[in-house]
């Protein structure tokens, strides 16, 4: 069981999912991770409020004693958000 890799993979999945959501909201700006929060705040997609995104991005609920819970929560939220991404 490689927990550190799972945590990093979940963070990466979150970034890619948010980028896809922003693209589906017609926000075709920079894909640089450092601009993601600003883009999300400006675009304000209904599927992902900024406060929820920021809590995941900053790993607010991450507990080093139980990292699997954070990974599971973030990956499930990414799955849910994937259904909100419209591809045209």
Domain borders along the chain are 3-82
Distance in angstroms (rounded) separating the CA atoms of residues 22 and 7:
23
pTM of the model: 0.90
How crowded is residue 71: how many other Cβ atoms within 10 Å of its Cβ? 19
What pLDDT sits at residue 30?
Answer: 62
What pLDDT sits at residue 15?
Answer: 96
Distance in angstroms (rounded) separating the CA atoms of residues 69 and 35:
27
pLDDT in tens, the chain (88 residues): 899 999 999 999 999 999 999 988 876 766 678 889 999 999 999 999 999 999 999 999 999 999 999 999 999 999 999 999 887 7
What pLDDT sits at residue 32?
Answer: 75
What pLDDT sits at residue 71?
Answer: 98
Token pair, residue 27, equals 């926000």
């Amino acid at each position: 069981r490689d927990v550190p890799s799972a945590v990093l993979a979940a963070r990466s999945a979150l970034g890619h999912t948010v980028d896809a959501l922003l693209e589906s909201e017609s926000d075709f700006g920079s894909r640089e991770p450092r601009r993601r929060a600003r883009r999300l705040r400006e675009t304000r997609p209904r599927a992902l409020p900024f406060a929820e995104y920021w809590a995941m991005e900053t790993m607010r609920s991450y507990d080093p004693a139980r990292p699997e819970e954070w990974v599971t929560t973030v990956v499930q939220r990414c799955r849910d958000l994937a259904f909100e991404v419209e591809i045209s």
